[in-house]
Structure 1
Amino acid sequence: MGEPLLYFPPKQLIEFIMIRSYIQVALRNLWRNRGYASINIFGLALGLTTSIFIFLYVINELSYDRFHAKTDRIYKAWVSGMMPTGEVHDANTAGPMAAALIADYPEVEQVVRIRQHGGFLVGNGDRKFNETEQDFMFTDSTFFDVFSFKLLKGDPKTCLVEPRSIVLTEEYAKKYFGNEDPIGKTLKIEQDTNVSVITGVMQDFPQNSHFHAKMLGSISTLPENRDNLNWVNQNFHTYMVLAEGTDVEAFEASLYAMVVKYVGPIVQQAMGIDLEQFEAAGNSYGYRLMPLADIHLHSGLRFEIEPAGNPLYVYLFLVAAIMVLVIAGINFMNMAIAQSSSRSKEVGLRKVVGSRKLQLISQFLTESVVLSMMALLVAIVLVYLLLPGYNNLIRMNLEFNLFGQSWILPVLLLFAILIGILSGGYPAFVLASFKPSAVLSSNMSSGGRNKGILRNLLIVMQFTTTIVILLGTVVVNRQLTFMQKRDAGFEKENVLVVHRAEALGRQIDALQAEITQHSNVISVAYSTHIPSGGFFGNAHWLEGRGKDEIFTLATYRTSYDFETALDLELVQGRFFSRDMPTDSVGIVVNEATLKVLGIDDPLNTRFFQPSYVGNADEFMPIIGVVKDFHFESMSDEIKPMAIHFMEGNQGGKLVIRLGSGNKPETVGFIQNKWENITAEHPFEYTWLDEEYGKLFDEERKTGQLLSIFSILSIFITCLGLLGLISYATSQRRKEIGVRKIMGASIKVVMTLLSRETTLLLGISTLLSIPAYFGIRAWLQKFAYHLNFHWGFYFLVLLLVTLIVLILAVLTVSIHSYRAASANPVDCLRYE
């Protein structure tokens, strides 16, 4: 006879048989109690599904820019300063900084700059597209040395060296050239008399990158950027790779020498004072470093390439995931505790025939782990089914690849085992501790005082967690509604924004005049920026004050009629007038400018802008003051701003305010007029309310997700209550029968069974009160927020409690009514 396929030494064989026996018994018991097991599995599966979705989002947020080989050594330089208008935290730096870093600091191994240079019309024959500054960026030839983006075609060392060199992503290679090989082919960039050559094709930027260019042009294409030696003209995003072992704090401190060496002379030239005098007046200007991996969540800087994420929401979702898991885990544990009394005789018999306590604990823990594994399997199926909808909701492209991402399956299995052990641990120890003599002689209480207390404590925890999630959801959505409905200070509705106004050239005024003739057009203007669309940050100072009081203002450049196009409210003076030629050098400021700078008589005040090149400083009288309006997110306090007159067509956007008439017909009319002037430039437009609404995308997404989590937490809680009350009524059928024989009505019996739930919910409501402080702290992150006081909080708390109470009582009443309506004779026969 041949050798057996498997050979187990006696001890291992016994252990194998025992484990197999545990699993078989566990499956048999789960099948015997399949109703309660199904409730447990489905409730835990929902909790796991929710948690997996949240963890996918959180992991993605925390993984930004960590895929680069040199991530831990890549830092971004940014400007930190203090001026009379407040702190300056800017993401961009001066052009010459890159060369100076290499020349003056041996710790710097490599430097790369990224320049956003406005939009361009890019064409390949008939294929012409407007590309935004987020899509088309210019960069140094060291781009692929610093970052680890994968170049599929071309030489990473040379592809961005020569002027008019372009690297396309795979997406854009197909967009412009279809299935052809783009290397060596050309694209025509607007306003460039020569063509640009495609020198490389790279993989699309991953989702977890803090910028997502589609086209990279060589910086040497732009002579004004290549040769720019102005140390206070901040247009570049500068990244550097530091040598291994560099003391980052000491290196950052040493960058002040660069300020002294290069910025100091500019201060002297423009302001007539040296750097020490500038700083003695309370001003400051310096360079700081930010680790690459911190940019997405912790930047908070002006002029970042893309809007940063919010770490607060990451932590909020993480807490929500834990809370939902706690709710599901409590269901799991409560059902196990509730069922323990029905299995007491089983435990007694096992002990009589020789089972040890450790064996019993192992048996019950095995059942718990098997159940959690089943829940995990259901959760994995749900994640695969629901992931497309989840991605659509949060506007992301998260992936869940169980086998492609090697860490996912082991982590999930470990997680499920841990949940099974934690949730089943206490019931297992309780069951294993039963004394055979007590349970077999029926001297043991079917309820058990200690078990009842623990079960009630767990239900209170569950209710409290559910109430807190609901409270957070209500407040987040109320805050979002508050921001959306708050008066922004300008007209958002029915305002058409046509992009790439520079395409019209000198004919923009003619188009403006033609469009205005339409009966449904109220006003037409053009501007470099719109609310929500960024701004320039220009240096100014006030006439009559020292030049050491220089400050920066958020700046728009606009045409005539901008105030009527946005329905801005003038509080003093006037806006730019065609009847006042001198208005071309005037400016309009907002109320915040007067408040911050302490200007009492604005219409007799002049601003200056430094020339930096030895010319006379440009003076600008204030001709008007507009009421403060939110040109940035309402999370931020309204900052001082200035509106300058736009001389000629300097690019930007057409801002067209429409009436209440036929919008599609009006847009068609405007498009026709546009195409009569510039047929080769696509007519592309958006609506201002949609553009401004994008500022609230993060809050809107948070509100939607929290709403879903709230519904799930309530559902899981009610599912657990359904299982508990079902089991409790089955255990109390004899008591119910006796009460009915003694004359108790259905209402009395239902009240008896529901009273405990109501009491526990009341305790949970009291325990939820401290959540006020956490919610208030979250609201303080917004410059403008709800008037959140104790009265409002208690009103919301009572509303939330009422919702949970109604759902809980309805859930309990389903089985209570069935138990109360049963024939008392059948109830007495049950035992």
Structure 2
Amino acid sequence: MISNFLTTAVRSLLRQKYYALINLIGLSVGIAAFLLIVLYVQHETGFDKHLRKRDNLFRVVEIQNEPGVGEQHVAITMGPLAGALKADFPQVVNAVRFMPGFDIQVVSLGNKNFRERGLYYTDPSVIGMFNIEFLQGNPATALSTPMSVVLSEKTVEKYFGSTPNVLGKSMMLGKRSFVITGIMKDQPMQTHLFFDILVSISSVENQADFEWMKGWGSNSLITYIELDQSESRQIIEEKFPEFLRKNVFSKEEGWEFLEMYLQPLDEVYLESQHIKFQNVSAAGDINLVIVFIVIAVLILLVACVNFINISIARSVKRAREVGIRKVLGADRLSLVYQFISESLLLTLLAIFIAVGLVELALPEMNKLLATDFHIDFRGNWIFNAGLFLILIIISLAAGSYPAFYLSRFQPVKVLKGGSSIKGSSAGYLSKGLVVFQFMISVGLMFSVLVINDQVDYMKNKDLGIIYRDAIFVFFGDDDDAGKSEPLRNELLKDSRIRTVSGCSFLNGVSGSQGPVFVDDSARTKLTMRFGYVDYNFFEAMGVKFIAGRNFDRKIASDKGGSVIINQAAARKLGWDNPLGMKFKTVMGADTTVKPEVIGVINDYHYFSMRSLIEPAIYVWNPEMFRGLLIGYYAESDKQSVRKYIEDKWIDHFPDTPFQPVVADDFAAESYKNDQKLFSLFVYFTTISVLLSVLGLFGLTSLLIEQKTRIIGIRRVLGGPVWKITSQLIHDYMLLVLIAGAIALPLTYYFLEQQLRQFAYRIDINAFHMISAVVILTLIAFFTIIFKAYRAAGANPVKALKYE
């Protein structure tokens, strides 16, 4: 029975090779696009899955309502928090702190010097909570004593090569010697917090420079807790206000604005766009994942709609076949099985082709997204189960209606030629499906136009600062800042170098922010970004002054005793004329004087345009510089001038790695991820539109084929064919307009929600909407014209002999 169905299905498909090929191409491309998006979604939702205790792990997040900043969620917390949570809540099984090793600029072993990014101070409890596997050493004691360090496999290889046993050996972290007490397995890449070097936090807890870790007045550590069960989260959060009153408000002034909550570990990677100061290695966006899931489903639906529409349109040609089969004794159920088996066979072929297309497309997709996606049939049962579900769902969804519709035909009626779908329920369904297809295409095209303009806006907007033709190189330690003058002087002797300036970072601000008190009776306080810059930084980076002056080397009080603020700070403080206003104290400034505002600079973007420009205050204090900004002239050969800078850097700082941050790359980084995902969005939108066009082409071909004899008669009688063509054009243009009328408002709402993520964004206008509809209308128009005039130009004798 089954073999008979399959044999008949193969013969039927071969008889209709042209339309079977259209269906096969549509389904193959649609399934391939769906699978590519599934791989992306699997990757994004697969972060931190290696952590066995992840269901009971939570990150502590603070909600701060500081003056001048408003509500902000931050992932950095106070030093004593982890211990207090464990002491006050029996539900807390364990707690661990992570603190980036910001004081360790260089890790050294012999003549090997590197700047390590994945270096954290942490508690011994990290090993059990994050199920770190040890290759050497005792996990129970590896981080329990000061000056101990645990290295990853690849870090050991980098510093020691193939040395089999490195336990007990020493290496320099900054200026201090640490003992290697453990070797851990490399972490999976799909983790939000990637670390290669773990240092015992007891190494710094009792140092004078880290005395602040014992108090509740400073935030610098990320705190994770392990609960006895996930349901305990609500109990703890309900008691947080009382906990804060007891431990924070009673001991530190000015923290009454503070709240806390627990964020499940499973949400950290994808659902943390609203959280600042995360110090994470990777961050995703759940909204983008949802968007791509929707796109994947829509593309698959478009492919299925093509199948259904062409099957319905083919019903005229297959009606006589159904009538004859029923006359010969075939029952309705056997006919249904027959048509579904055809659908099953075609879908199976499409899946095989789709997998091949995915394999071809993966290298380019991996290159675009900097990932390593691959199809693993043996190790990924979810993927295999998904392929099976696709086979069943598409076969039933795409084959059921045509099967039941065709099997319902009455033999007497169809053998007399009464099988037209015009005006029937199938005809209305066919038009409805065409509208649905074009709704998707119009919506995606509209989205592409808007997102493209937003990306262009971010790339071309005047940032208020010139991020090009410059590099920033980090110092190795605090002493390097005091030794940088000889290097500065030597670099400036080269005609290609236009400027050398010390600063916190390339953008002029450090990663920290804190309260600044105004010298007034009202004890006015404003939370501000801190920037430590040289006297020539603003000139070097093209930042304009709105009022006042720059730092001056000839004025001694400018160094630490004067400050420059941005427009955002002046607005928040309500100062119409900020010049001459004074602060009580500023971090890093001379505390013996009250810093005076000597200048106001134009607001510039020091971070992504997703965030507002925050109030910032700048101090000229060389002791706080973290590196050198080195600018060169645009016409210089960038490679040769950077090599020259590197050589001079090594001459002056042989123990400090030359690892520059390139200004052009820093600027591009802020929209790099948006650009990548936009490119991906364009690719899949193009696929959706092409699938719609392919379906329209096949459907138009069938409808014109049904009118072949009419066209032939008109040709023989000398009549025009344009009436038939114009009717088709009219019908489909109307369907496109209906699709646009439905899709545009829905898409507009969706795009507005997405654009709200950007503090600086474009406005959606009528041009975007009209362009989307016009583009799809023109595509549909030329598709119909192409097929209609091919039919009109055919031999009328053959047309009269048709069926």
Q: Say which is worse superposed, 42-51 or 352-361, in terms of deviation.
A: 352-361
- Give 1:596's aligned residue: 572
How far apart, CA to CA, are the structure 2 residues paired with 1:534 and 1:685? 17
1:327-366 Cα shifts (integer Å, max 9, x gaps)? 1111111111111121112211222233222222222122
> Could you tell me how far 1:187 is from its partner in structure 2?
5.5
- Name the residue aligned to 1:635: 610
Q: Secondary structure at the match of 1:553?
A: strand
Distance 2:584 2:34 in 1: 56
Change (3 A) 1:131 1:443: closer
SS at match of 1:701: helix
Residue 189 of structure 1 pairs with residue 172 of structure 2: yes
Deviation digits for residues 375-402 of structure 1 (CA, Å, limit 9, x no counterpart): 1121122222222221211122334312
Whether 1:160 aligns to 2:133 is: no
3-state secondary structure, aligned to 1:398: coil
Q: Say which SS state the counterpart of residue 59 (structure 2) adopts.
A: strand
C-alpha distance 69-824 of structure 1, shift in aligned 2 (>3 A): same
Contact 1:476 1:699 in 2 (8 A): no
Amino acid at match of 2:144: V
1:99 aligns with 2:83: yes
For residues 118-517 of structure 1, what are the structure 2 equivalents within 5 Å? Answer: 118=102, 120-132=105-117, 135-184=118-167, 186=169, 188-197=171-180, 199-207=182-190, 209-223=191-205, 224=207, 228-244=213-229, 246-268=231-253, 284-299=257-272, 300-306=274-280, 308-445=283-420, 449-500=424-475, 502=477, 504-517=480-493
Would the aligned equivalents of 1:93 and 1:236 in 2 still touch at CA under 8 Å? yes
Consecutive unaligned residues of structure 1, counting only runs of 5 or more, are 1-16, 269-277
Q: Deviations over 1:250-307 (max 9, x none)?
A: 3123233443333235434xxxxxxxxx58xxx5123322111111122222111126
**Number of the residue aligned with 1:12:** none
Residue 819 of structure 1 corresponds to which residue in structure 2? 791
SS at match of 1:203: coil
The amino acid of 1:682's aligned partner reads P
Instruction: After TM superposition, give the deviation of residue 745 of structure 1 in Å.
Output: 4.7
* Equivalent-residue separation in structure 1 for 2:245 and 2:351 (angstroms): 61
Contact 2:502–2:629 (Cα < 8 Å) also in 1: yes
Displacement of 1:677 in angstroms is 0.6
What secondary structure is seen at the aligned counterpart in 1 of 2:532?
strand
How many Å apart are 1:453 and its aligned residue? 2.5
Query: 1:130: Cα distance to partner?
Result: 2.0
Q: Look up the equivalent residue of 2:768 and give its one-letter code.
A: V
Question: Structure 1 residues 769-778 or 387-396, which shifts more?
Answer: 769-778
SS of 1:540 mapped into structure 2 = strand
Q: Deviations for 1:143-165, whole angstroms, at most 9, x for unmatched residues?
A: 12111343344332222223333
What is the Cα deviation at residue 109 of structure 1? Answer: 0.8
**Aligned partner (choices 28, 35, 38) of residue 18 of structure 2:** 35
Following superposition, the deviation at residue 617 of structure 1 comes to 8.6
Kindly report structure 1 stretches of 4+ aligned residues shifted beyond 6 Å: 615-618
Superposed displacement of residue 175, structure 1: 2.4
Displacement of 1:738 after TM fit?
0.7
SS at match of 2:575: coil
Equivalent pairs counted in the alignment come to 792
Deviation string, structure 1 residues 651-679 (Cα, Å, up to 9, x no partner):
24434353433333332332232122122
Q: State the secondary structure of the residue aligned to 2:744.
A: coil
Q: How far does residue 79 in structure 1 lie from its aligned partner after superposition?
A: 1.9
Instruction: Give the 3 Å change call, closer, same or farther, for CA 652–221 of structure 1 in structure 2.
Output: farther
What does residue 760 of structure 2 align with?
Answer: 784
Q: 1:738 aligns with which of 701, 713, 716?
A: 713
Give how far 1:610 is off: 8.3
Q: 1:814 to 1:88 in 2, by over 3 A?
A: closer
**1:605 touches 1:622 (CA, 8 Å); kept in 2?**
yes
Instruction: Choose which of 807, 819, 825 in structure 1 pairs with 2:779.
Output: 807
Maintained 8 Å contact 2:566/2:616: yes
Measure the CA separation in 2 of the matches of 1:455 and 1:379. Answer: 26
* SS state at 1:298 partner: coil
CA–CA distance in structure 2, aligned partners of residues 532 and 155 of structure 1: 44
Question: 2-side partners of 1:39 and 1:182: how far apart?
Answer: 63
Aligned 8 A contact 1:144 1:156 in 2: yes
Q: Counterpart of 2:681 in 1: which secondary structure?
A: helix
Structure 1 pair 221/732, CA: closer, same or farther in 2 (3 Å)? same
- CA contact under 8 A between 1:532 and 1:692: conserved in structure 2? no
Deviation for aligned residue 1:513: 2.4
Q: Specify the alignment match of 1:685 in structure 2.
A: 660
CA distance in 2, matches of 1:242, 1:444: 68
C-alpha distance 48-459 of structure 1, shift in aligned 2 (>3 A): same
Mean CA deviation greater in 799-808 or 51-60: 799-808
Contact 2:139 2:182 in 1 (8 A): no
* 1:511–1:674 Cα contact (<8 Å) kept: yes
Residues 511-569 of structure 1 deviation map (CA, whole Å, 9 limit, x = unaligned): 2222223323222212122339862112222111444x544211122222111121111
Query: Compared with structure 1, are the counterparts of its residues 421 and 617 closer, same or farther at alpha carbon in structure 2 (3 Å cutoff)?
Result: farther
Question: In the alignment, which residue of structure 2 is the partner of 1:273?
Answer: none
Which amino acid counterpart does residue 202 of structure 2 have in structure 1?
S
Q: In structure 2, do the counterparts of structure 1 residues 266 and 608 end up closer, same or farther at CA, with 3 Å as the change threshold? A: farther
**What is the deviation of 1:183?**
3.5
Distance 1:443 1:82, change over 3 A: closer
Q: Which secondary structure does the structure 2 equivalent of 1:622 belong to? A: strand
Structure 2: segments with no counterpart, 5+ residues: none
Query: What are the Cα deviations for residues 218-269 of structure 1, in whole angstroms up to 9, with x where unaligned?
Result: 222334487631212211111010122653223123233443333235434x
Q: Shift in Å at residue 480 of structure 1? A: 0.7
Q: 1:443 to 1:99 in 2, by over 3 A?
A: closer
Native 8 Å contact 1:501 1:508 kept in 2: no
For normalisation by structure 2, the TM-score amounts to: 0.93
CA separation of 1:752 and 1:264: change in aligned 2, threshold 3 A: closer
SS of residue paired to 2:768: helix
Equivalent residue for 1:272? none
Secondary structure in 1 matching 2:320: helix
Contact 2:151 2:180 in 1 (8 A): no
Change over 3 Å in CA distance of 1:446–1:672 after alignment to 2:
closer
- Structure 1 pair 665/247, CA: closer, same or farther in 2 (3 Å)? closer
Counterpart in the other structure of 1:14: none
Matched AA of 1:585: G
> What RMSD over aligned residues (CA atoms) do the two structures have, in Å?
2.6
Contact 2:497 2:630 in 1 (8 A): no
Whole-Å Cα distance in 2 between the matches of residues 88 and 757 of structure 1?
51
Q: Residues 609 and 89 (structure 1 numbering): CA distance in 2 closer, same or farther, change over 3 Å?
A: farther
Deviation at 1:199?
A: 1.4
Distance 1:333 1:446 in 2: 13
Contact 2:77 2:220 in 1 (8 A): yes
- Judged with a 3 Å threshold, the aligned counterparts in structure 2 of structure 1 residues 286 and 323 are, in CA distance, closer, same or farther, namely same
- Displacement of 1:684 after TM fit? 2.1
Q: 1:465-495, CA deviations, whole angstroms, 9 ceiling, x for partnerless residues?
A: 1111111011111101101111111011212
**Alpha-carbon offset, residue 195 of structure 1:** 4.5
Rate the CA distance shift 1:797–1:743 in 2: closer, same or farther, 3 A. farther
Question: How high is the TM-score relative to the length of structure 1?
Answer: 0.90
Residues 527 and 558 of structure 1 are in contact (CA less than 8 Å); yes or no, is this contact kept in structure 2? yes
- Partner of 1:620 in structure 2? 595
What does residue range 757-772 of structure 1 map to in structure 2 within 5 Å? 757-770=732-745, 771-772=747-748
Mapped partners of 1:28, 1:609: distance in 2:
87
Alignment-derived partner of residue 524 in structure 1: 500
